[in-house]
Structure 1
C-alpha cells in the first residue's frame, strides 16, 4: 500500500516535471515566433524561468528512484558485502541531512515570501511563493525518496536505483541505446 503510494508520488512528480518542460517549450516558441509577428507574452521570460526551476526540482525524485541520476559511484562500485552496505547507508544518511536542510530552508523562503507578500517585479505581478513551491515540493519529494531508499537499505534490501548488471550483450546495447546507465 505505502509502496504503491510512494511510487505514484514519484511518478506524478516526474509527470509534473514533464508538464513544465512542455510549458517551457511552448513559452519559448511563443516568445520566439511572437517577436516576428509583433506578439508579446507578458512576463514570458519569468514564467519560463519559474517553469525551469519547477521542472528541474520536481524531476529529481523520479530520476533518483529510477537510477538515472548522475552519481559518483567510483568507491561504492568497488565495494562488496557489508562494506558496500555501510558506505551506502553513510551516503544516504548524508544525502538525507543535506536535502532535509535544503528543503527546510526553501520552505522558509517560500513561507517568508507568502508572509511578507513578496511579488515578482515583471509586467505580470505574481506572488513569489507560488513559483517557489515548485522548488519546495521537488526537494520535499526528493527527501521522501532518499529516506525511502535509506529504509530499504536499512532493511537489508538492495537500493532500487542500483540496476542489475546486463546479462547479455544485446541487453547492454539496449540500455545504452535508451540512454540508461550500465
Structure 2
C-alpha cells in the first residue's frame, strides 16, 4: 500500500511538472504572438519563470525513479558486486543529506514567506509562498524518493533508479533511441 502511494506521488509530481511545461509553452506563445497583435499579458514573464521553477523541481523525483537522472557511475561501475553495495548506500546517504537539508530550508523559507505575508516583486503582487510551493514541494518529494530508495537498497534490493545494462547491440540502440541520443 505504501509502495503504491509513493509511486503515485512520484507519478503525480511528474504529471504536474509536465503540466507546468505545457503552461510555459502556452504562455510563451501568447506572449510572442500577442505582441504584434497588441495583446499584453501583465507579469507574463514572472509567471513563466515561476512555472519553470515548479516544472524543474516537481520533475526531479519522477526523473530519479525512472533512472533518467544524470549519474556518473565511472567508479561504481568498475567495482565488484560485493564492493559496490557500500558505495551505493554511501551515495544515497550523502544524497539524502544534501537534498534533505535543501528541502528543509525550502520549507522554512516558504513558511516564513507565508507567516510574514511576503509579496512578489513585479507587475502583479501575489503572496510569495504560492510560487515557492512548486520548488518546495519538488524538493520534499525528491527527499522522500531518496529515503525510499535508501531503505530499499539497505534492505538488500537492487537500486531501482539504475537502468539495466544493455546486453546486446539491439538493446544499446534501443536505449540510445529512448534517451534521445
Q: Which TM-score applies when normalising by structure 2?
A: 0.97
Unaligned runs of 5+ in 2: none
Misfit runs of 4+, over 4 Å: none
Residues 58 and 138 of structure 1 are in contact (CA less than 8 Å); yes or no, is this contact kept in structure 2?
yes
CA distance in 2, matches of 1:99, 1:8: 21
**CA deviation profile, 1:73-94 (whole Å, cap 9, x unmatched):** 1111111222110000000001
Preserved CA contact (<8 Å) 1:13 1:58: yes
- Contact 1:34 1:40 (C-alpha < 8 Å) held by counterparts: yes
Partner SS for 1:160: coil
> Number of residue pairs matched?
181
1:61-110 superposed Cα distances (whole Å, 9 cap, x missing partner): 00001110001111111112221100000000010011110001001111
Matches within 5 A, 1:50-129: 50-129=50-129
- What is the alpha-carbon root mean square deviation over aligned residues? 1.2
* TM-score normalised over the length of structure 1: 0.96
Shift of 1:180: 6.6
1: CA distance, partners of 2:35 / 2:22: 20
Residue 173 of structure 2 corresponds to 173
Name the CA distance, whole Å, in 1 between partners of 2:121 and 2:6.
37
- The alignment status of 1:135 with 2:129, answered yes or no, reads no
